[in-house]
Structure 1
Amino acid sequence: MGSGVRAVLGDVSGEVAVFGSLNADLTVRTERFPKPGETVSGEDLVILPGGKSANQAVQAGLLGARVRMIGAVGGDGHGDLLIESLQRAGVDTAAVQREDVATGTAIITVDSTGDNTIVVSPGANGRVDVSTAQRHQDVIREARVLGLCMEVSPDAVEAATRIAHDAGTRVVFNNSPFHPVLSAGLLEAIDVLVVNEHELADMLKPGMPETAAEPEHERGDDAMDWGDCARRLAAMGIPSAVVTLGGRGSMVIEGKEITPIDPFPADVVDTTGAGDSFLGTLLAALAAGAGLREAARAASAVSAFATTSVGAQASYGDIAAVERHFG
């Protein structure tokens, strides 16, 4: 089963800007997650570079995109770790500012099935604000695609999206960590929304403009009315979306067109950072001129590869590695 990643990305690289978070991931593997009030034993602590936005930047860089990262780290060893990892992937870090606080950290536990829980301490990410977007607006304007998530200030995210929107830079927005209510200014600037099925259902509940939603969503994608989802997203001003479905692949919504994207099989070791790998691949593929469906197919393969080893950035592969894995 070939991945088709090389056919999508080829030798054409595009300009990508990523605005947002950088975290040191402190990971402990354990047989099972503890119950409330319980203590369980784990393996040795592993410290690896992470942060949703930094992960996305690294994956896009490994796939050949010309990536510039905008964010902040502390003046500590964790900050050094993050800067070095970005630079190894070819990411330009000139717009990553050093702050006099600790670098952001994520405390991650991974169980024997590869599932994980994550608690984030923002640290220097809390210093990323509207002025950060304004100070680095040339980086945003010069990019073909801008990637963002919600691990930094919502006001900063909106400011960056508005700069991109006004400049004609394509905005790919990942509503994670999930915010049920987004500002009108942010919504109208989004070109591609990336969420999982549960986040989509929550976005379409009452409280968002002109939307309603079904009850809780422990269900398969065959129970989702995708046409209705597309109409409601359009009413919110969002023209296209990629909805991830875990082990069932993803769904691409472009206007009224709904396209299912099959998953790639993988022997899962650790799912940490797989969603960021997916989004980083989308950024690289879209910047290279791929269509959204092609980009999502490539992202399915690359993110599946990322689950086959431990860590977020540490598990990411370039085109050659993904092609070798899937044959």
Structure 2
Amino acid sequence: MRIAAVGDNITDCYPEAGHMYPGGNCVNVAVHAARAGARASYVGAAGQDQRGEQLVAALRAEGVDVSRLRRPAGPTGYATVVTVGGERTFGPFDRGVARFRLDEEDLEFVAAHDLAHSSYSAFLEEQLPAMAERVPLSFDFDVHTGDAYAAALIPYVTYAFFSASHLDAAATADVLSWACAQGAEIAVATRGAAGSLLFDGRRLVMEPAAEVEVVDTLGAGDTFIAHVLTGLATGSGTRESLRRASAHAGQVCTSPGAFGHPSPMTPDLTGLIRQHTPQPAKEETCPESARPRP
């Protein structure tokens, strides 16, 4: 299987520990797909700075093709991750140079893969039709569960992923049924401690969340996506693909960062923790009863 992850990247910064990790939905999916045995590529933009170098080095170390990674002048984006009262929150962030547009060479490159993946945080909505014309498309809608944003994009999506912790099981099943009725072949939702659901247009499959000692849930949902996609592509079937995805997502929750490769925070970021308004961080695929350690 060849998968092209197209879109966002970010540097996840942990000021309390003084470490930063490469990440971002599409980067994380590419890395975990490669770890699952896929031939993965990443198409995106990272700055000509230390954080950009960290991202490139990590992707190359993981065997991800970075031949279509742009390196424009400017900073690589960052997001600060902070623990407040035992709960993980987000502090200051900046997307840096991550926003970009695909050119014809990018589209030809994507077309050489079996599957493309992108997400709501990539800001490539206008280019999804061009990708979908060339290759089956996976898309992470996050909490856009059947709203106008999802309705506009779902006709182009083959594999639709949602974060549905805010919905009960019946409402989640309705979203997945709606997605398949609108053209998706497979629709999947994660519901935190309540596990995950997958609908293939005929059968609804449920999988409990992995029971782990949670350290950091960052990247768990992206890991889940990567293993669902690689599992289905290799013929594992829906139930086994969900089981493996849940297990691997749970494992990611046991250590900081989405896939490792830490380095000391750059000097320009070390003061960002001093003043911020905490925003609750999302826990997608790990039990909510297992709280992150401070």
Change (3 A) 1:177 1:254: closer
Match of 2:34 among 41, 58, 61: 61
**Pair 1:107-2:74 in alignment:** no
59-68 vs 184-193, which moves further? 184-193
* Contact kept in structure 2, 1:144 and 1:287, CA below 8 Å: no
Q: Which residue of 2 aligns with 1:294?
A: 240
CA RMSD of aligned residues (A): 2.5
**Pair 1:190-2:157 in alignment:** yes
Q: How does 1:207-218 map to 2 (within 5 A)?
A: 217=166
Offset at residue 265 of structure 1 (A): 1.3
SS at match of 2:130: helix
Q: Structure 2: where are the runs of 5+ without partners?
A: 262-294
Q: Which residue of 1 aligns with 2:254?
A: 308
Structure 2: distance between partners of 1:175 and 1:290: 24
- After superposition, give the CA deviation of every residue in 1:216-248 in whole Å (9 maximum; x if it has no partner): x4x643xx2455334432443334211101122
Change (3 A) 1:293 1:227: same
Q: Which residue of 2 aligns with 1:87?
A: 60
**Pair 1:146-2:113 in alignment:** no
Structure 2: distance between partners of 1:282 and 1:100: 35
Offset at residue 253 of structure 1 (A): 1.2
SS at match of 2:149: coil
* Contact kept in structure 1, 2:79 and 2:90, CA below 8 Å: no
Q: Structure 1: where are the runs of 5+ without partners?
A: 1-13, 29-42, 199-216, 316-327
Give me the identity figure in percent: 26
Q: Which residue of 1 aligns with 2:8?
A: 21
Q: Which residue of 1 aligns with 2:139?
A: 173
> How many residues are matched?
261
SS at match of 2:148: coil
Q: How does 1:1-327 map to 2 (within 5 A)?
A: 14-28=1-15, 43-111=16-84, 113=86, 115-117=88-90, 120-126=93-99, 128-129=100-101, 132-153=102-123, 156-159=124-127, 161-167=128-134, 169-176=135-142, 178=144, 180-182=147-149, 186-198=153-165, 217=166, 220-221=168-169, 224-225=170-171, 228-314=174-260
Structure with more helix by fraction: 1
TM-score, structure 1 length as denominator?
A: 0.72
Offset at residue 88 of structure 1 (A): 0.8
Offset at residue 45 of structure 1 (A): 2.2
SS at match of 1:304: helix
Q: Which residue of 2 aligns with 1:36?
A: none
Q: Which residue of 2 aligns with 1:203?
A: none
Structure 1: distance between partners of 2:117 and 2:209: 23
Structure 2: distance between partners of 1:181 and 1:22: 25
TM-score, structure 2 length as denominator?
A: 0.80
* Contact kept in structure 1, 2:181 and 2:201, CA below 8 Å: no
Change (3 A) 1:52 1:231: closer
Offset at residue 314 of structure 1 (A): 0.9
Structure 2: distance between partners of 1:80 and 1:140: 23
Change (3 A) 1:229 1:187: closer
